Amino acid sequence: MLHSLMAGFAKYGTDEELQRYLRDVADHVTHTSERVDGFRQALADILTVNATLVTQQQNAEMRALAEAGFEQNEEIKKISSWAAILFAPTLVGTIYGMNFEHMPELGWSFGYPFAIGLMGLVCVSLYVIFKRRGWL
């Protein structure tokens, strides 16, 4: 708008002082416009940095959650391994504790040592298997 006014100086014969004043105003408008553009660019850069920092924080939180999930998974493996090891002798003991009349191994003289040995063998076997897999 000011440029069109300044273009009409010669056409309308405006006063020299008014011309100087309008040029000064035009300079101020140009300077202010450049400052606004600079502030706009600075604000855009600040928003970009803020978005980057927020993303980095979210990535750090996700990494921490993933690490916690991995650690929790390792603990679950250990608990499950020990549960399996303890389940084996419980199963054998439960079978031999049913007290049915027609269980051939009840009359066998090596039935008790066999049951204890079987429980121990299964427990040791499971322990070795889980240890090799890194679960214990």
The mean pLDDT values, 10 residues at a time, for the chain of 136 residues are 66 77 88 96 97 96 94 92 90 80 75 85 92 88
pTM: 0.51
Instruction: Using alpha carbons only, give the angle 36, 42, 48 rounded to the nearest 5 degrees.
Output: 140
**What are the chain's domains?**
2-132 (1.20.58.340)
pLDDT for the residue numbered 9: 67
**CA-CA distances (angstroms) from residue 87 to 81, 111, 125?**
10, 20, 13
Q: Which residues, 6+ apart, have CB-to-CB distance to 25 below 8 Å?
A: 2
* CA 65/CA 62 separation, integer angstroms: 5
pLDDT for the residue numbered 1: 66
pLDDT for the residue numbered 124: 94
pLDDT for the residue numbered 8: 66
Contact 119, 64 (CB under 8 A): no
| DSSP code of residue 108 | S
* CA 131/CA 70 separation, integer angstroms: 18
pLDDT for the residue numbered 95: 81
